[in-house]
Amino acid sequence: MDFPFKQNEFQIKNICNWNLETHKTVYPPREDTYLMAKAILKMKKHQGLALEIGCGSGALSMLLATLGWKVIAYDVNPYAVSSARGNVKKYNLENSITIEEGGIGENIDISDEIDIIIWNLPYLNPIIEQENKLEYIEDAAYLDLENGGWNRKLNDTLEMYEISDHCLVMLLFRTFPESNSTPELWKEKGWSGRKITEEIIGDEKLEVHAFWKPGGNSIPIIIDECESTMDEVKKTNNKHWTRIMAKTQTKGRGRRNACWQSIDGDMLATWKIPKKILEEISPGILQIAVGGSIASLLKIGLKWPNDLLTNDFRKMGGIMIESDSEDESMRIGVGINRTKRISEEIFTSSGWDETLGEIENIDIYEMVDVALSSNFEEHYLLPNISSQEMEDISWKALSQILSRGVVIKYKKNNFRIIGMSEDGRLDILGNRDRIKIADLEKIDWEFYNH
């Protein structure tokens, strides 16, 4: 006899040990459910109103409620709604969880009181091997869509609602093989994003990412002209993700107090970030990670420690980090050229119009804001990225340029870069010596293949 209901264990040490009953058409707790649970457990706080889309058995909604959240859950499958309600009642969580039939585009309400939205995104391909084929109604809930998938539909839907400025969206993606839904969409749409956890399950790679609006959806301070945005941002009292962009900067600072020469149309801005981030990483790694974050989003390279380069090794921009004892924040200054120019030394620099086309400096600012916010903004629900992640961002950006052919000249001898220390120094190797370099002025760069 084919029984329509199945028993499914869902167990997390020291939190829950549930025997959940689901109809055979309902997605049961599986490895991806546990991966999303792992991401939920990493959050710094567990209070407020959560929304789960596609609740299935109710396992994740029940976990949220057990941790302290109030939960509204939806599923398009009426059997899932019935199963989840039964499981919620079985474990006495009715006062914390409301379950309704609906989904994105179907009878769903997303209010401005919601603090977090979670969804184990559908990632099954429309064509499934017959032996793995799900029941029809489960297919409807777990097959992805074309043209950006359910991920894009959710993003479009949220843009139509008046959601909280601090709302966090936590989604599970299949990133290999790549599904129609990708994390990159959110950054393209102006959301900050951070990978929370990942796991390889069989021949698939699954990742959980969290997204939010930079600076609590606040807009930057834009001024027509100033001497330096670094100095202007010091005058502000706002401690949460303050940033200032100037249309013209007359005394911008470069490395070792050199003057940063800018022209009308360049992107010139400074961000405040919490100084306590240095409790986790060194100033050297921070500077490189900032450059790496921007280089990755703009699809360009990074020359150690703070120059943004095109793939043919021409400078496009630079990064400066400053702090002082009386301020709890550090200042990250970013200058990026719009167009190429030739200096008095006949050195040709590049501009973003060569790589990204005719877009305005406010567009570049928004891209940089997303890049920096994703890695350095504190969100009240999320852990900060780890020192290892910072180092990975840094080395990945440096490697993009190194792979194209770079030799270091140090004391008239050739060296090659073989690594980077935890404090951001370059590890270079010559014929006889292996040296760690901390001072850019002591080395010369020779670029090949351009």
The amino acid that residue 93 corresponds to is L
Model confidence at 192, in pLDDT bands (50, 70, 90)?
Answer: very high
Pair 118, 58: CB distance under 8 Å: no
Here the tokens at position 89 are 């009642």
Q: What pLDDT score was predicted for residue 60?
A: 98
Tell me the sheet residues that pair with 173.
207
Domain layout of the chain by residue ranges: 5-212, 219-386, 406-447
Taking the C-alpha atoms of residue 135 and residue 26, their distance in angstroms, rounded to an integer, is 9
DSSP character at residue 308? E
Q: Determine the pLDDT at residue 343.
A: 64
Looking at every residue in the chain, the average pLDDT score rounds to 87
Contact residues for 331 (Cβ-Cβ < 8 A; gap 6+): 230, 233, 234, 270, 271, 272, 321, 322, 323
Give the pLDDT confidence of 357-387 residue by residue, as tens digits. 889 999 999 999 999 999 999 999 999 888 8
pTM to 2 decimal places = 0.89
Cα 273 to chain centroid distance, Å, stands at: 16
CATH architecture of residue range(s) 219-386:
2-Layer Sandwich (3.30)
Q: Mean per-residue pLDDT for 59-70?
A: 98
**What's the confidence (pLDDT) of residue 237?**
78
Q: Tell me which residue of 308, 309, 395, 315 sits closest to 347, measured CA to CA.
A: 315
pLDDT digits over 390-441, tens only?
Answer: 888 888 888 888 877 788 888 888 888 888 888 888 898 888 788 888 877 7
97 vs 132, which has greater pLDDT?
97
φ/ψ (deg, to 5) at 199? -160, 145
Rounded to a whole number of angstroms, the distance between the first and last alpha carbons of the chain is 71
Q: Is the pLDDT of residue 259 over 70?
A: no
pLDDT at 2 over 70: no
334/294 Cα distance (integer angstroms): 9
Nearest residue to 363 via CA among 341, 340, 339, 338: 338
Q: What is the pLDDT of residue 217?
A: 92
Which H or E element spans position 393?
A: helix 387-402
Q: Considering the domain 5-212, what is its CATH architecture? A: 3-Layer(aba) Sandwich (3.40)
The CA–CA distances, whole Å, from 25 to 139, 360, 361 equal 9, 50, 51
* pLDDT score, position 128: 45
Whether pLDDT at 349 is above 80: yes
